[in-house]
Amino acid sequence: MLVEQLSTSAARGDRLAVARDDRHRAQTSAAEAREVTHQGTLGAQRQSVARVLDVGPHDESSVNREGAGADVDVGVRRVRRRGGVTGLFTQFIPRNGRRQFHVQTVHSPCVTKFRNSAVEISDEVANALEKGRNVVALETTIVVHGLPSPVNLEVAEECESAVRESGSIPATIGVLEGRVVVGLNEVQLRTLADPERHAAKLSARDLGMALATRGDGATTVAGTISIANRVGIEVMATGGLGGVHRDVRDSFDESADLTALSRNQVLVVASGVKSILDIGATLERLDTLGVPVVGFRTNRFPGFYQAESGFSLDWSIADESEAALAFLAHRELSSTGFLVANPIDHKSELSVELHDRALSSALERARALGVSGKEVTPVLLAEFARYTAGASVAVNRELVVSNAGLAGRICAAIAKERA
């Protein structure tokens, strides 16, 4: 598979990379070569791309004609514009559904750099993706903004270990000096978590500005799954999903995690949503957005620090294989993500009494400080940790590591189904 420049003004392209089957390369005529040579003169590269539609090999009969220039086994999934931060890289999806990446790379001891891209993917993750192996994305907000030091880095290591033990490859995602890193190594993660660097909390909307200003940032669930979907990672693990806040009628405060889930075909394993939120409203919003919420061996929605929140679920899955089958079927029919709700063990949850007292104290603390938006959750979690004398941190630690392991096993099951 080779990458060429579009030569027609109809594509309205500016140095667009396109897929071309190398079996047809020998058929390129001298006239075509001259046309490419004179692109600049004819102004074929000076117009911006407004919209490029996906083209599949079976979408149009002409695509499959002999000499039509498209491989019947490969469809163009994305066409990227080279240069700047507007595109990550060209992505090809064969009929077996596995993504393959055909880009020039520059190898370093620990990182693969995609030229003309704002993304760096570790060699381990890049190799796994190229071979169609199972990779699990991990967020960094919990490390930088969610847990106290040194527990934060310990949990990050435990999550990666849990993914590996499940037979999958971890890909911890963050932004360092204006570059998205997919597969942060230990040194990079410590750098990002250093309080002196003041790493920002990056949702999906913040990524472009962080790259443009060469900033550092920890990715939220929304930021992480947006990047994961872009590079071909289908599964992500987190502690608790963001959601609709309790005072939404006055603040209109709703986490971008929900919207990102509705836009990206990524399976997310979480212990429900944080109990500081309006759980009922969050479930209604996910329903409206078309995101399935499925309990793992439960028909009750988890309450983060508690095994259940008091809300029932329509669907439950018995094991990882069933989760894989459900997700693959969902992908065929919907463009949204898929939420697997994995509750904390009843033996480890906070008692109802302690949880409710801590929640009241946390909400009062947030009101006293007058925080809003992305600053609310860190304040509430910190007050939970203070009020419970660290018990909430222990619960958070256990559930996020458990979710990482489950995500790894589901990811391995997805790969097995596709084999």
Sign of torsion over alpha carbons 283, 405, 141, 81: negative
CA distance 411 to 194: 31
Please tell me which residue in 139, 160, 254, 349 is annotated as part of the active site: 139
CA distance 73 to 315: 35
Does 157 participate in catalysis according to the annotation?
no
Residue written as token pair 């709703």: 254
Tokens of 210: 């962080």
Sheet strands side by side (includes 91-94)? 74-76, 91-94, 100-101
Contact 226, 210 (CB under 8 A): no
Tokens of 416: 């097995």
- From 177, 185, 173, 172, select the one nearest 216 (Cα to Cα): 177
Contact 194, 218 (CB under 8 A): no
Please tell me which residue in 201, 274, 308, 320 is annotated as part of the active site: 274
CA distance 366 to 386: 14
Burial state string for 116-148 with b = 16 or more CB within 10 A and e = fewer than 16: bbbbbbbebbbebbeebbbbbbbbbbbbbbbbe
Chain centroid to CA 90:
18
CA distance 226 to 244: 19
Contact 101, 126 (CB under 8 A): yes
The DSSP call for residue 62 is G
Does 274 participate in catalysis according to the annotation?
yes
Q: Which phi and psi angles does 4 have, rounded to 5°?
A: -120, 175
**SS3 of residue 288 by DSSP:** helix
CA distance 205 to 296: 30
CA distance 105 to 303: 44
Count of residues making up the chain? 419
- Give the amino acid at 265: Q
Chain centroid to CA 87:
16
Bridge partner residues of 304 (DSSP): none
Question: Which residues are part of the catalytic machinery?
Answer: 139, 274
